[in-house]
Each structure stands twice: as structure tokens, then as C-alpha cells.
Amino acid sequence: MIIGVPKEIKNHEYRVGLTPSSVYELVEQGHTVWIEKNAGLGIGFTDEDYSHVGAKIASNATSIFDCADMIVKVKEPQSTERALLRENQILFTYLHLAPDRTQTLDLIQSNAICIAYETVTDQQGGLPLLAPMSEVAGRMSIQAGAQALEKSNGGKGLLLGGVPGVEAANVVIIGAGVVGRNALQMAVGLGANVVIIDKNIQALRLIDGLYANKVKTIYSNQSNIEKYCLVADLVIGAVLIPGAAAPKLVSEALIKRMQPGSAVVDVAIDQGGCFATSKATTHSDPMFKVHDIVHYCVANMPGALAKTATVALNNATLPYILTIANQGYKTALRENPHLCNGLNIYRGQVTNQSVALALGLTFTPAGDAIVKAIGV
């Protein structure tokens, strides 16, 4: 199979779809890999590093899209990239389609096979290709929140952990999944007063067992969200419904009532955000204020820690890339139900139910679409 890796073009996005070590594995198994010139340069992977392991270097993205059977990326394709997609071409990347009608319609029009990292599952019901970036984003959210609380950024001017004789900041984390647990680890490590809120009692029990009286675990309902947001200095939005738009758990009315200079970090912004006042921002202009509350809503947070994030992501994605390349997409999707759960758009059909529901589009089960395509 011919695999193409274009350079990411989203604002301040330095991650790359394949590392040189991943390219080596693919080439050793007989595949051809094209890398766009300087695709990995921002994190120290030179064209020579890729050439040394057998990759071919293309001068531009158009050349990559023209020759590749499968495009491997990190972030969702931008409009110029979507225009380059071909019928029956495989796209394997993060997509986050539920809040993005324009992208979804473009991918439908392309007749490509679009597999989203964030909805691939594993035998335990987890999201193995989302998890590494959730780990990075969760840990980074506390760093971002600490910056948002600085007075120069419009915050209260608080140090999360305080100092001797000065009380630590109050941090509320909404969601006890991978993002929430990693944010929790960082916040506790810095000495903040931490509350974590979730509906999953078992998840809260596990956290209580690990942290005991260092963390307050609270069942998620509107009353409790309101109670703890009103006394919070920093709120981390870490909720996820796989493939679906994020629920708006914090209303604009509640944002208005929060303490002036408090901060919110919306890690769910890729799926539309869980604060009613959120809007996607970029690393070049990451923060804004609404009702005197500082918002950090960068849609590609791990891009700021691009080398760590790229290597962590490749560790997770490479086995799936090899499966698709070695077996072909039809066999791979038919025989691996967890990979098939990642199929969001299949040759003009929406094959993820959450995406279809969020956007009011017709849903075709992935299995039905594949069976029809191969005529069995």
C-alpha cells in the first residue's frame, strides 16, 4: 500500500502522522511511505531522518494526496486538504465530526473512507487512539489553567498550590475519564484543593482509593456542578461522549455567577465544548474572557507538546495502520470490529450513529455499508 503523510497545517500544529520509527516498520513490511517535505521538522524529525528509514519525500501536499492509497494525519483535514481527497482513498486521523457539519459534508462528498482515531475502540470498551492525547491534554490542562489564572492574562493572580501561609487554589474537574484523571494527577501534585465530578460511581471510588482525603469526589448533577463552580478558581471541562457533541454542562448563567477572574479550560472543545460560552481558539491566541471569566479553549491542545504527543500517538496508531495496510481496508474493517467502530464516513455514507444524530444526517451501520461494498 502507498501511505502518505502530509504536513499538518492547522494553526501551531507541529505533530506529524508518522514518526521515522513507524515509517521503518511500514517499509520493512513492503509498503511505500511518502512524507511531505519538512512534515516533522517542527519536532526535530528531518527529511533525512525519514529518507534514512526508506521514506520518499514529496515537495507538497498535493503530491501526497495524488499518490497515496491511505492518508495518515493527526488533526482533521482542513478545507484545502478535503478538496484533495479522492474517491475510495482512506483517511486515518482525528476527525471530531459531531460539531463540524462543514467538514462532515465535505467528507461525504469526497466518497473517501474516513476512519476517526477518536472512535476506534478496544476489547475493554476504551478508546485506545484517543487515550494518549487525552493523557497529554489532561496534564496540560492544569498548566494552561495556571497560566489563565495569572493576572497578566486576566485571572485572579493565584498560584495553584499557594505558598506557606497562603491557601491553595480551588480546582474543579468535571469528568473522571482519561482527561480528568490526568488533570487530577497534576493538580494534586501542585498542591491545589481538588474536586472531581462524575456520574460514574466506580470511577469515583477508584479515585477515592488512590487519593483518599486529598481529593473530594462528587456525583455529577446540575446542583453539584453549580455548587462547586461557584467557589472554583479553575474549572476543567473533561467530559466525553464518544463521537458525539459534548454536553453543555456549565450554562452561561452559571458562568456569569462565577467569581471574577476565575478560569475555565475546555478540553472538550474538539467535540464542541462543555461550557456554553466556549468557542474554539488557537495556540497563537488561546484565551478570551466572557463575563470576566478567562476561557482557554484551544482545539489542538497536545500540539503545544508536539514531540511527546506525536510519539505517544504513534505508539497507539501504528498497529492499526499496519493492519489496514497489510489486509486492505475492506478486510481490516470487516474482521476487526474495534477498528470498524472508527469508521465515520464510508463512500458518501455516515457510519457513526452519534455523528448522524448530532448533525441530523442519515445513518448507515458500518457493517451494512461494508457488506454492500464488497457484495457479500
| Residue ranges in 129-273 assigned as alpha helix (H) | 131-148, 178-189, 201-211, 222-229, 252-257
What contacts 245, CB < 8 A, 6 or more positions away? 98, 99, 271, 272, 358
| Residue ranges in 41-189 assigned as alpha helix (H) | 47-52, 61-67, 79-82, 101-110, 131-148, 178-189
Q: What letter does residue 149 receive in the DSSP assignment?
A: T
Strands lying side by side in the sheet with 293-296: 215-219, 193-198, 170-174, 234-237, 263-266, 293-296, 287-290
Active-site residues, by number, are 96, 270
What nine digits make up the cell of 57? 519525500
Q: How far apart are CA 310 and CA 20, in angstroms?
A: 11
* Residue 151 burial (C-beta neighbours within 10 Å; 0-12, 13-18, 19+): exposed
**At how many degrees (to 10) do helices 306-327 and 20-28 cross?**
10
Contact predicate 43/312, CB 8 Å: no
User: Could you tell me which of 170, 175, 171, 104 has the C-alpha nearest to residue 134?
Assistant: 175
Instruction: Answer positive or negative: Cα dihedral of 325, 8, 45, 139.
Output: negative
User: Could you tell me which of 153, 224, 151, 149 has the C-alpha nearest to residue 192?
Assistant: 149
